[in-house]
Structure 1
């Protein structure tokens, strides 16, 4: 009887492995809760608007949760005990706001944090987040050092320059900032989308950002498919989606462990 049970278990394991391999071959990542569905750019925008308009979330409410997720994922992979100093590069939109929130949380986690915020948004929300960073001891870098000099002061970079609303090409005023991220030689953790990438197709040139880690928010976008990310470590954060939205968008997402704010998607 035991022999047949062992044979049966082995057969089930083999079938599971074959099925998993077939899933990977189709570009659909297999997780603890099944297959992941990746959002198009328009779906990501529509989902956000539904959260604001139908579910009555505020921008700063979701930004706080997203920034906390980013800081948590960074600390899990690049702990402050080893990667003490971090530079966060923030853009003018919501992605930059996520970066400002992440900077504050990373300071609380024990990092020595600096922020470069070259194009500041003149709105109370962003001004308040920026002021909070300063009050929590975050250093403000007005002039970004050359790429080859960043390693003298920092161990890790967080890319919060462009989010899922980005459409190429990069504006001239922000090209030098993106090029510094690309050429730094330091580990880069991108927030939701690697800056400069097409949200659905991924990088469009050989001189594109190659982040060491991506933290997708709410749900991964099409550019985060395994065959595009390759060996980039991939986390999902933003644990705030209502059940109805998950059903409406057919989002098959992995379960978050216990009370965690992030879940790792890549192996």
Structure 2
């Protein structure tokens, strides 16, 4: 999967009603954005946006992945803080979503969580090997055997879904079926990275048995499957605070502003 994911710093223009990261309504020192004006990326635009970040703006994969993982960890901590959800299991796939999950694991340990990672299909690449090494050095428990879905509640309070991104195409590989089943059937709150695993990037879930996340952390800009009429009863955060102004203008993005130094914003 390509890195379809990074939203940049929201500069709120206090003297106007339009902010380059959202449509603003301002009164005195208070500003809010019009949620119905937020727009959503197609898969084609998400891929093109990533290529612009790499080619025109010279960002590296690991640079962007670090920002994505920090955003994920921050959003999870906002909704499921370590004080109430101490033990977290992050389920990582072989692509860039999995890399985001490995970065998030490291940051979540610094936020006070007891973190485990299940990473059944590892990517033979120096970047991913280094991220996994860093997790181990930070005290993340790398598990090789995944408990049955109904047993996960005995060990964890929250799951992070970093399994599949928007490039996923069915069917699920046999080696990854237990991981997806754990996310679907555990009964624990699931926090999905960018796209709920198994969903179509534009149409959303394809059946009643699809994953039902409790939290979605969109990266860069929300994708079409995150529209309110599809993403029902789900907490939704946008993360990254990263896109250059030129990208925002090129793709005509209307996105909410971040507050102060926040790395995420709730939609």
* Structure 2 equivalent of residue 262 of structure 1: 264
Deviation at 1:101? Answer: 0.2
**1:144-183 mapped onto 2 (5 Å cutoff):** 144-183=146-185
* Structure 2 equivalent of residue 112 of structure 1: 114
Given candidates 127, 132, 135, the residue that maps to 1:133 is: 135
Q: Please tell me whether the aligned partners of residues 168 and 198 of structure 1 are also in contact (alpha carbons under 8 angstroms).
A: no
Distance in 2 (alpha carbons) for counterparts of 1:34 and 1:257: 19
Distance in 2 (alpha carbons) for counterparts of 1:258 and 1:77: 19
* Structure 2 equivalent of residue 249 of structure 1: 251
Using structure 1 for the length normalisation, give the TM-score: 0.86
Deviation at 1:33? Answer: 7.4
* Structure 2 equivalent of residue 202 of structure 1: 204
Deviation at 1:152? Answer: 0.3
Deviation at 1:164? Answer: 2.0
Given candidates 34, 48, 69, the residue that maps to 2:71 is: 69
Say which SS state the counterpart of residue 248 (structure 2) adopts.
Answer: helix
Please identify runs of 4+ aligned residues in structure 1 that moved more than 2 A. 30-34, 167-173
CA displacement, residues 89-139 of structure 1 (integer Å, 9 cap, x when unaligned): 000000000000000000000000000000000000000000000000000
Say which SS state the counterpart of residue 154 (structure 1) adopts.
Answer: coil
- The alignment status of 1:184 with 2:186, answered yes or no, reads yes
* Structure 1 equivalent of residue 59 of structure 2: 57
Unaligned runs of 5+ in 2: 1-31
Given candidates 90, 97, 111, the residue that maps to 2:92 is: 90
Distance in 2 (alpha carbons) for counterparts of 1:78 and 1:173: 29
* Structure 1 equivalent of residue 19 of structure 2: none
CA displacement, residues 220-256 of structure 1 (integer Å, 9 cap, x when unaligned): 0000000001110000001110111101111100000
Unaligned runs of 5+ in 1: 1-29
* Structure 2 equivalent of residue 23 of structure 1: none
| Structure number with higher relative contact order (C-alpha < 8 Å, ≥ 6 residues apart) | 2
Deviation at 1:31? Answer: 3.6
Using structure 2 for the length normalisation, give the TM-score: 0.86
Given candidates 223, 238, 263, the residue that maps to 2:225 is: 223
CA displacement, residues 27-78 of structure 1 (integer Å, 9 cap, x when unaligned): xxx9457711100111111111110111000000000000000000000110
Larger Rg: 1
Matched pairs, number? 236
Distance in 2 (alpha carbons) for counterparts of 1:33 and 1:248: 21
Distance in 2 (alpha carbons) for counterparts of 1:189 and 1:230: 14
* Structure 1 equivalent of residue 5 of structure 2: none
Structural RMSD (CA): 1.2
Where is the helix percentage greater, Structure 1 or Structure 2?
1
Deviation at 1:181? Answer: 0.8
Deviation at 1:177? Answer: 1.2
